[in-house]
Amino acid sequence: MPRTVWLLVAARALNRLGAFSLSFLTVLISDDFGASPTTAGLVSAGFGLATIPSRLVGGRLASRLGRRRTIVTGLVGCAAAQLGIAAAGSLAMAACCALLLGLAFELYEPPSQAIIADTVPAAERVHAYSLLNAALAAGGIGAGLIAAGLGRYDLRWLFVADALTCLICALTLRIALPADHRRPTAADEARLGTPPARPWRDRALLAMFVSGTAFALLAMHVVMALPLTLDRRGYAAADAGLLFTASALTVVAAQPVLRLRRLTALPAHTALALGHLLLAAGLAGYALAPTLPAFLVGTVFWSLGEAVVLGRAISVVADLAPPGAGDRYLAAYGISWGIATTAAPVTATQLLEHTGVAALWLAMAGLGLVLAAGQLLVVEPLIARKVDHPLGHGAATADLPARTAPGVTG
C-alpha cells in the first residue's frame, strides 16, 4: 500500500480510540436531562439528519478547496462540537451541539475515501478499504474498553476523549498528508470537453445507494439500540462497550481470512450477499440472546458480515466513478449513512418501546435477508449492464482500468 494510505489507516485508528461516544448519546440525553426515549431519539436523529449535507459538502469542498484542508476542517469541527456536548448544561445546548457535530461529522469521509481510490490500483482497492475498516476496528478495541470504563464514571468523559483524538488526528494529517493541489473546475472540464459527472443519474450507483442505505440502517441500529437492549435485559448499558470491543477484535482477526484466494475470487455481488447473510444471522441471535455470552456470539456473526460488506461496497462505488469524480460519487453514496443515522434512533426507540427487544432484532435480521436477495437479483444486473455499456453511463467500471484525473492529490 502507498504511504498515504498507511497514513490514513493510522490516523483513523487513532481517531477511533475515542469514537464510541455516539453510541451513548441517547443514554446521556435520557439520564442527564431526564428526557423521554422519544426525545432522546429525536436529538440523535437531528445529528443524523445533519450528516447528510455534511457528506455532500465534504465531497464539494474536497473537489474545490482540497482534500487535506477538508479533512482537517471536519476533524476540528467534530472536536469542538464534542466538547460542547460534554459541557452542555441543558437539553437545548446538548441538542444544538449534536446538530453541529452532525454538520462536521462527514466532511472527512469523501476526501479520505477518494484519496485511496486515486492512489491504489483497482485490483487492490478492496484490500485498501478493508484495511481502513480494520483500522477503525483496531482503534475500536481500545475505544470499547474506554467506553466501558469512563462510561461507568460519567458518560460526558466519552465525548471529551473523542474530541481529544479528533484534534490529534487533525494535527497528524495536517503535517503528514501531501499538500492540496488545484483541482479541475467545472469551467476546466467544459474547456477540456470532459462530461460533468452526475452521480444521481447513474442507475448502478443508485442501486448501490439503496442497498447501502439499508445496510447502514442495520449497522446504526446496532450502535443505537444495543446499549438500550442490554439495559432492558438487565445489564449495564456500558457493557455495550465490551461487545463493541469484541466486534472490533473480530474485524481485525478476520483480515487474513478476507485475503484468502477463495474469498477474493468471489464476484462482488456474491461477496456482498454473503456478508448480508452473516449480518442477518448475528442480529437474529440478538433477538434470542438470554445472556452476555449469547450476545457475544451474535456480535461475532454480524461483525464478520460487516467486514465483508464494507470493503467491497466502497470499492464498487469507487470503480463506478468516472475520472476525477470519486469525491462526488463517494459523497453521494455516503449519504446512505446520514439517512440511516437519522432514521435509526427513531425506529430503534419506537420498536423497542412498542414491540420489544426480540421484534426489533428479528425485523433487522429480516432486512438483512432481503438485502442478500436484492444484491443478487437487482443490484448486480444493473452493475453488469453498466459494464456492458460503460460509455452510455459515462463512468468507469470495476472491470475497466483505474483512471486518475489530473490535479488529484496523491
Asked if residue 400 is part of any domain, the answer here is no
Instruction: Quote the CA–CA distance of 126 and 129 in Å, as a whole number.
Output: 5
> Which structural domain, as residue segments, surrounds residue 55?
3-178+199-393
pLDDT in tens, 111-127: 888 888 888 887 788 88
Provide mean pLDDT across the span 43-55.
83
Measured between alpha carbons, how far is residue 382 from residues 158, 320, 360, 373, 392 in Å?
Answer: 43, 12, 31, 14, 13
Q: Which pLDDT band holds residue 350 (cuts at 50, 70, 90)?
A: confident
Asked if residue 83 is part of any domain, the answer here is yes
The whole-number pLDDT of residue 175 equals 87
Output the CA torsion 84→22→231→370 (10° steps): 150
Instruction: Quote the CA–CA distance of 46 and 40 in Å, as a whole number.
Output: 10
Asked if residue 187 is part of any domain, the answer here is no
What is the tally of structural domains in the chain? Answer: 1
pLDDT in tens, 26-43: 778 888 888 887 788 788
The whole-number pLDDT of residue 403 equals 32
Quote the pTM value.
0.72
CA angle 244/286/258 to nearest 5° reads 55
Asked whether the predicted pLDDT for residue 89 surpasses 80, the reply is yes
* Region of 339 on the Ramachandran plot (φ > 0 left; ψ -120 to 50 alpha; else beta): alpha
Asked if residue 350 is part of any domain, the answer here is yes
The whole-number pLDDT of residue 154 equals 76
Asked whether the predicted pLDDT for residue 366 surpasses 80, the reply is yes
Provide mean pLDDT across the span 166-188.
76
The whole-number pLDDT of residue 407 equals 32
CATH of the domain at 13: 1.20.1250.20
Instruction: Quote the CA–CA distance of 217 and 336 in Å, as a whole number.
Output: 8
The whole-number pLDDT of residue 186 equals 54
Asked if residue 401 is part of any domain, the answer here is no
Closest to 335 in 3D by CA, of 234, 190, 209, 233: 209
In the chain, % of residues over pLDDT 90: 18
Q: Which pLDDT band holds residue 144 (cuts at 50, 70, 90)?
A: low
Q: Are 221 and 347 in contact (CB under 8 A)?
A: yes
Asked whether the predicted pLDDT for residue 57 surpasses 80, the reply is yes
Asked whether the predicted pLDDT for residue 392 surpasses 50, the reply is no
Asked if residue 284 is part of any domain, the answer here is yes
